[in-house]
Structure 1
Amino acid sequence: MTSTAIVRFRRDLRLHDNPTLVAASDADRLLPVYVVDPRRVGEQAYGGPDSFRYQRTGGHRARFLRESLSDLRERLREHGSDLLVRRGRPADVLPEIADAVDADVLHEQALPTTEERETGAAVGDALAADGVARRTHWTHTLHHPDDLPVHPTVIDDTFTPFRERVEAESTGRDPVPTPDLPPLPDQLPEAGEIPEPLGSVPEASADGRGVLPFRGGESRALARVEEYLWTGDHLREYKETRNGLVGADYSAKFSPWLAAGCLSPRYVASEVDRYEAERVANDSTYWLVFELRWRDFFQFQFLQHGSQQFRREGIRNRTDLDWRWDETAFRRWADGETGVPFVDAAMRELAATGYTSNRARQNAASLLANDLRLDWRRGAAHFERLLVDYDPASNYGNWAYIAGVGNDSRDRAFDVLSQGERYDSDAAFVTRWCPELADLTAVAPDYAREPWTAPREALVEAGVELGVDYPRPMAGLDDRYESIP
């Protein structure tokens, strides 16, 4: 009897190191499918207590996803297969497809957040009603949950103990090779066009000031690994340069492809191992894998704590914090008009490109959550819409961490002014995204980073009138943000 399988791609848009695809390829016939779920694209309620509405997917990620799907389709066709694309709720669409091709089983990626798990379970229930099995595979972390020293639902809530145990007691699995793909089913539905744009979201073009154009797809992901590690030989100094703000190669910038699953973290680690064997092993090579373990940590924390991770009180149930709701203040932060150049540059870069560095993200988040004490969830949701490398666990986990309601009990507030002085000493980042302050650097970079401290004559010489050409710092910040008389 001929067996027919469906492989549903989710956040694993690749052929390399994809155990889901390997398992599905045991069938006699195989149909690859991607479902565009409108609930992930349009405006939705955040949900839960004190909810609000927000747009879930912005133009940069919409473009990146379409490019990733186009690349996946091309790579599948090179292997004698294809990609069927449909729009709708997966629990409605997938049973129809299974019936059309007389499928026996659907293979798909297992994911950690409550919403993703509930969506998968709904698909399983709908398929089971028609006698179709559902098989899931964990494919998007460096360490497989089965290989952890303890079950992921009981790991420590602090990263360092988790990392130390994993490094001492867990061995990562080797990447699996790309399988030979079975032929498509005989009764094949029309492949369908990849929506452009995805739903009602206008795609955003790249801004020339961005650090990279970030084109989606497995092909570009593998090329970026080759460029960063091997052609550019940048890995040897990653730890020293990773806090940079301007330029393509101060950090690896693999995160957009990791988030969409165009790139496997196990493949990255295997390339680091090869780099250490062929070129150099040092703190920088270790640190890149260290960052992959940070990413793993948040994925497993969301398995452990479920929807509590998205609540305002967080996993620490912080009911002692008073969160403000000030729409004007939030919009100034979101639009890069806080009057604090280091944060404004970050927010303008994010809006223009879908990306800003981890250092910039942390400072922007800290100003919103710790200085202005605005509801951190709104900031996280704003990042969800804009980030080309949005990953739910990494994004919301890091925001909760900065806001003091997530992992680690330490105060994570950032001194934004000292951070700007340390990481943007020449104000190159600030003036790249706040060009109205550029002429202040001719007097002193400090004045571009903190224009309220500039003497009147310096402001006049630079043609900057605070409150007109560039905003004064927002109300609610401490007295360090007050103008010198």
Structure 2
Amino acid sequence: MTTLVWFKRDLRVADHAALARAAAMGDVIPLYVFEPEYWAQPDVSGRQFDFVRESVEELARDLAALGVPLVVRVGRVVDVLSDLRDLLGFESILSHEETGSAWTYARDLDVASWCRANSVAWEELAQSGVVRRLNGRDGWAKQRNAFLRLEQVDVPAGTTGPALPSDIVPRLVAKDHCPERQRGGRQMALSLLGSFLTERGQTYRKDMSSPVTGEWSCSRLSPYLAFGCLSGREAAQAAAVRQREVKGTREGWGGSLKSFQARLAWRDHFMQKLEDEPGLEHRCLHSAYENMRPRTPDAARLAAWEKGETGIPFVDACMRYLDATGWMNFRMRSMLMAVASYHLWLDWRVTGLHLARQFTDFEPGIHWPQSQMQSGTTGMNTVRIYNPVKQGKDQDPAGTFTRRWCPELAPVPDQFLQEPWAWEGADKVLGKTYPAPIVDVLDAARQAREKVWAVRRGGAFRDEAKRVIHKHASRKDSQGHFVDDRDGKRRKAGVTPAKDSRQIGFDF
């Protein structure tokens, strides 16, 4: 029996349930399709394309070592499948489930329709803690944790498959300038996982909030998890082994690894939101917020934010850093979105697309729920309006990060670095070598807070918010651990209401 294995966001051979099952059944046709229509979507970028291409190249080498050459094609998936079926006559397809964008969801519907029309059996297997066709969040944590405890899946020895030619892959999206982008591929993922668990992660809990320390202390695994070079189960189980090794020590490892495991769980939690409600990519989770902000953004404000020229130093430094690296630590991701949504009063759908393109690790299931959460449109999260001046002082106290990415501020004394407009010599810099702030930080925050809270008043708002909470809110205890809350029963003492506001972004 010959089975086609369709690779998507699972660019690895280890812990790959679809590949392992297909290999146990007979010959395997491993397939990856570069889809021109996908790479024309507004949420993708050259940095992501390059990362994926590098990862696919490494996947091809790993599969060749197993004796099953990867088939790489360019085109529409249904057209590629038709060509391969005419050539080889396969009758079954295996792949992993994908919680992706509206475009990939529609693409999968087309594939399902093609399979039915051509009598091809297509089965999708889970590769994360996300659960399909879930009715509310009660019991989700138990299912997620059970999946994470399952033994990793190995490809059996002696795997075979036909040797087929692959297409030459053209550049399908314009190259963007990202000189410090992380390189794709599983070997880099394993290297980062190893160095994080044995060296860099020791101060993760303390250092992950600042871009100064987070660049080193965060795991940096997010793009490899997003495109499946590493499975979430691999990361969680490796961390669990390390937790047992360091148990009882006083070196900071225990707390840091606990935080890392929690963030892996929160990753699945947020992806579950998009799985349960795909429309939240395009519409506010709570409908009362739908027309709160103008759908057509203020072009000048949007451009200033995108270019890192808002005149708010720490915001600009973070945006310029993101542009150059394709990565940002969790708190600063949240701040960038919050400043855009509150201080600049820009719609999350527009700013979310820009950040999606900037992040090498763009994961729709995390990105869109987080974009809404940081913009205050979910109806269930605490409204969190960052003060970017305070964030700069707290997270970059020496000013090293801000000065590196905003060199125009060199003449500004340290005490005024995060608010140069308060310096008596501001006229020497602002509006000349560095822009004046496009908004008054405190006044803009005040106005935004008033507008958001005005929407939250009234019984109709609360009724819809209850429905959102039942479907999407976390069930976690006072320590931030996911728990099960079955059958609508009251929570036991010590368990907090469902809130996600402390979990403010994903970078690992």
TM above 0.5, yes or no, is yes
How far is 1:312 from its partner?
3.8
1:174/1:249 CA distance change after superposition, 3 Å: farther
Alignment equivalent of 1:180, drawn from 157, 176, 193: 157
1:145-156 correspondence to structure 2 within 5 Å:
145=131, 152-155=134-137
Is residue 2:419 matched to residue 1:453?
no
How far is 1:317 from its partner?
4.4
Distance in 1 of aligned mates of 2:178 and 2:375: 32
How far is 1:382 from its partner?
0.6
Alignment equivalent of 1:332, drawn from 304, 310, 313: 304
1:36-435 correspondence to structure 2 within 5 Å:
36-42=34-40, 44=41, 55-113=42-100, 114-139=102-127, 141=128, 143=129, 145=131, 152-155=134-137, 172-180=149-157, 182-185=159-162, 188-193=163-168, 195-197=169-171, 199-202=172-175, 204-207=177-180, 213-230=181-198, 232=199, 234-246=200-212, 248-280=215-247, 282-307=254-279, 309-315=280-286, 317-319=288-290, 321-323=292-294, 325-406=297-378, 408-435=380-407
The answer on whether the counterparts of 1:346 and 1:360 sit within 8 Å (CA) in structure 2 is yes
How far is 1:256 from its partner?
0.7
Letter of the 1:79 counterpart? L
SS of match in other structure, 2:31: strand
**Deviations along 1:222-275, whole A, 9 cap, x unmatched?**
111112112x2x333211111121354221111010001101111111111111
1:343/1:144 CA distance change after superposition, 3 Å: closer
How far is 1:86 from its partner?
1.1
**Deviations along 1:292-336, whole A, 9 cap, x unmatched?**
1111011111121121x1234234542462336211210111010
Distance in 1 of aligned mates of 2:85 and 2:410: 59
Q: Alignment identity in percent? A: 27
The answer on whether the counterparts of 2:204 and 2:218 sit within 8 Å (CA) in structure 1 is yes
Distance in 1 of aligned mates of 2:7 and 2:147: 28
State the partner residue of 1:6.
Answer: 4
1:92/1:153 CA distance change after superposition, 3 Å: farther
TM-score by length of 1: 0.84
- Count residues in correspondence: 437
Distance in 1 of aligned mates of 2:144 and 2:56: 35
1:438/1:173 CA distance change after superposition, 3 Å: farther
The answer on whether the counterparts of 1:27 and 1:182 sit within 8 Å (CA) in structure 2 is no
Distance in 2 of aligned mates of 1:421 and 1:448: 9
**Deviations along 1:274-304, whole A, 9 cap, x unmatched?**
1112224622111101001111011111121
SS of match in other structure, 2:338: helix
State the partner residue of 1:50.
Answer: none
The answer on whether the counterparts of 2:130 and 2:275 sit within 8 Å (CA) in structure 1 is no
In the alignment, structure 1 segments of 5+ residues that lack a partner are: 45-54, 208-212
The answer on whether the counterparts of 2:196 and 2:217 sit within 8 Å (CA) in structure 1 is no
1:71/1:170 CA distance change after superposition, 3 Å: closer
Letter of the 2:293 counterpart? D
Distance in 1 of aligned mates of 2:130 and 2:382: 29
How far is 1:166 from its partner?
6.9
The answer on whether the counterparts of 2:74 and 2:167 sit within 8 Å (CA) in structure 1 is no
Distance in 1 of aligned mates of 2:333 and 2:155: 35
**Deviations along 1:339-398, whole A, 9 cap, x unmatched?**
011111111112122112211111110111011111111111111112100000111111
Distance in 2 of aligned mates of 1:182 and 1:433: 50
How far is 1:118 from its partner?
2.8
How far is 1:467 from its partner?
0.7
TM-score by length of 2: 0.80
SS of match in other structure, 2:397: coil
1:353/1:181 CA distance change after superposition, 3 Å: farther
How far is 1:219 from its partner?
1.3
How far is 1:162 from its partner?
6.6
Deviates more, 1:72-81 or 1:403-412: 403-412
Distance in 1 of aligned mates of 2:257 and 2:161: 42
SS of match in other structure, 1:145: coil
The answer on whether the counterparts of 1:153 and 1:303 sit within 8 Å (CA) in structure 2 is no
Distance in 2 of aligned mates of 1:101 and 1:328: 55
The answer on whether the counterparts of 1:330 and 1:374 sit within 8 Å (CA) in structure 2 is yes
Moved over 4 A (4+): 165-171
The answer on whether the counterparts of 1:338 and 1:474 sit within 8 Å (CA) in structure 2 is yes
Letter of the 1:74 counterpart? R
The answer on whether the counterparts of 2:341 and 2:347 sit within 8 Å (CA) in structure 1 is yes
How far is 1:173 from its partner?
2.2
1:57/1:367 CA distance change after superposition, 3 Å: same
The alignment yields a C-alpha RMSD, in angstroms, of: 2.4
The answer on whether the counterparts of 2:284 and 2:377 sit within 8 Å (CA) in structure 1 is yes
Distance in 1 of aligned mates of 2:323 and 2:293: 28
How far is 1:204 from its partner?
3.9
Letter of the 1:182 counterpart? T
How far is 1:432 from its partner?
1.7
Letter of the 1:176 counterpart? V
Distance in 2 of aligned mates of 1:170 and 1:191: 35
Alignment equivalent of 2:30, drawn from 29, 32, 54: 32
Distance in 1 of aligned mates of 2:49 and 2:89: 32
How far is 1:131 from its partner?
2.1
Letter of the 2:190 counterpart? L
Deviates more, 1:446-455 or 1:255-264: 446-455
1:373/1:453 CA distance change after superposition, 3 Å: same
1:243/1:214 CA distance change after superposition, 3 Å: same
The answer on whether the counterparts of 2:91 and 2:121 sit within 8 Å (CA) in structure 1 is yes
SS of match in other structure, 2:398: coil
The answer on whether the counterparts of 2:45 and 2:173 sit within 8 Å (CA) in structure 1 is no
How far is 1:216 from its partner?
0.1
